Amino acid sequence: MPNKILEVKGINIPKTKLGQSKMDKLLSASEELFAKNGFYGTSISDICKRAGTAVGTFYIYFETKTDVYKYLMETYKKEIKEHLAESIRDCTTRYERERNGIKCFIKYAMTKPNVYNIIWGSLSIDRQMFVDYYVSFADSYSRGLTKDGDEVSIGDTESIAYMLMGISNFLGLKAIFKDMTDEKIDEMIDETVMPALTGGILK
Amino acid sequence: MPNKILEVKGINIPKTKLGQSKMDKLLSASEELFAKNGFYGTSISDICKRAGTAVGTFYIYFETKTDVYKYLMETYKKEIKEHLAESIRDCTTRYERERNGIKCFIKYAMTKPNVYNIIWGSLSIDRQMFVDYYVSFADSYSRGLTKDGDEVSIGDTESIAYMLMGISNFLGLKAIFKDMTDEKIDEMIDETVMPALTGGILK
DNA sequence: TTTGAATATGAATATTGTTCATATTTTCTA
DNA sequence: TAGAAAATATGAACAATATTCATATTCAAA
């Protein structure tokens, strides 16, 4: 649950203990209700009811309903980047970085299936948010791949980055659809995905 | 624009010329407005204004606003499957089928950038629609790969299918973000993507 | 303790998705 | 072709929603 409050446009950071507590409750309630009923299946009054606040309180901290959404997306983005950085910290080869990164991403997605709702759903809510998210992600990825250039297939690094992002994201989807366990995920990555990444998906 | 009317739950197919003309206009208006302003940025009265009908007319053909969305998604699904089938019809190797399939998908996405809005956005609107779409897509893909098993990397075919779907989808995203020309797309596939698919993304 | 800033509140407003009673058009039958 | 039945068109009315705002309460610093 969110405890460190991020600075995001459309968000008014509270300045007192009372305010922080109310905002925290509003954020948790939003996250839970968005996960259960979706963005548009959740009304502000639903959120406020669960958070134990009046509707007006919501609008002290969030300028619009979309802004809570943006805030949650920013939270996930930050969490994913931190998890990924941590997961590849001690790796010495690109192979290891990819293996750990993919496993990490999928396992994160499993604990928060809501990431897809939030990130992909942003296309319906605020296209620019969606574009910024993936462009920024592809940029970091691309830089990393360029550094490890001698361990990566020839060609345009940015395209390779998009390919790898696509692989992680869709394997995450599969894991969610099939409700895979951590063991099943490891098995999939070690026995199918990594061999395909090194030996080629097509023979 | 939609001319052959699909049978979809929530849709009432018109039985007269007048009805068909009205429904066509409502569908075109919906498609254009969803593309420009998104599903939730478009109101029924917006759609009806543009289509030149009364609001009540909308509800003769569509039970809810979400049902127009479902209808458009069904249309795209059908179109994509047809385009893909056509693009790989004369191929003799898996390599050719993948190359043509990926190019075809990306170019289709370029002509209708709205596909992502519709298909990925469906996560926010009707999760089951989204799941059904990709599960059914993965199933077909998987069956195709199994048939060509000797040309495909070892391991679980279904996982490979998800990897390849991820690759196509994210390269399509890149093409849209960067507004790539057909030539640039061909270049990307031929010089970066196909070598990575056969030689391995990681060395 | 005092005082201004921060916060809380929920009734009021404008907009939306949806319904429905009524009017018109189309199709089919006699 | 007449005319009845089915299909379609219409927009005012309704319930639910996101957002605003005037007022009341609480907080934090002096």
Task: Please report which confidence band the pLDDT of residue A123 belongs to, taking 50, 70 and 90 as the band edges.
Answer: confident
pLDDT for position A38 = 86
pLDDT for position B1 = 37
B135 or A118, higher pLDDT: B135
**What is the nearest nucleotide to A40, using C1' and CA?**
D17
Chain A residues in contact with B203 by the CB 8 A cut-off are 150-153, 198
Strand C–CB A202 distance below 7 A: no
pLDDT for position A9 = 87
Domain ranges of chain B: 17-67, 88-198
A181 or B38, higher pLDDT: A181
Pick the CATH number of A17-67 from 3.40.50.2300, 3.50.50.60, 1.10.10.60, 3.40.50.920: 1.10.10.60
Kindly report the average pLDDT of chain A as a whole number: 93
Task: Please report which confidence band the pLDDT of residue A141 belongs to, taking 50, 70 and 90 as the band edges.
Answer: very high
Mean pLDDT lowest for which of A38-42, A64-68, B158-162, B191-195?
A38-42
Nearest chain A residue to B203, by CA: A151
Nearest chain A residue to B131, by CA: A177
- Checking if the pLDDT of A58 tops 90, the result is yes
For nucleotide D22, the protein residue with its alpha carbon nearest to C1' is: A56
Q: Which residue out of B163, B168, B188 would a mutagenesis test of the A interface target, given it has the greatest number of A Cβ atoms within 10 Å?
A: B163
Q: pTM surpassing 0.85?
A: yes
Reported as a single tens digit per residue, the pLDDT across A78-109 is: 999 999 999 999 999 999 999 999 999 999 99
**Pick from A150, A169, A200: CB nearest B198:** A200
8 Å CB contact between A190 and B159: no
Query: What are the mean pLDDT values of chain B's consecutive 10-residue runs (203 residues total)?
Result: 68 94 96 89 96 96 94 92 96 97 97 88 84 95 96 97 98 98 98 98 95
- Checking if the pLDDT of A4 tops 80, the result is no
pLDDT for position A1 = 39
pLDDT for position B51 = 96
DSSP state string for chain A: ---SPP--TTB----SHHHHHHHHHHHHHHHHHHHHH-STT--HHHHHHHHT--HHHHHHHBSSHHHHHHHHHHHHHHHHHHHHHHHTTT--SHHHHHHHHHHHHHHHHHH-THHHHHHHHHHHH-HHHHHHHHHHHHHHHHHHHHHTGGGB-SS-HHHHHHHHHHHHHHHHHHHHHHT--HHHHHHHIIIIIHHHHHH-SB-
Task: Please report which confidence band the pLDDT of residue A57 belongs to, taking 50, 70 and 90 as the band edges.
Answer: very high
Give, to the nearest 10 degrees, the angle between helix B94-111 and helix B65-87.
Answer: 140
- Checking if the pLDDT of A60 tops 80, the result is yes
C-alpha distances in Å from residue A129, one per residue of A67, A126, B173: 11, 6, 14
In chain B, positions 4-63 with C-beta closer than 7 Å to nucleic chain D are 12, 14-16, 18-19, 21-22, 53-57, 59-60
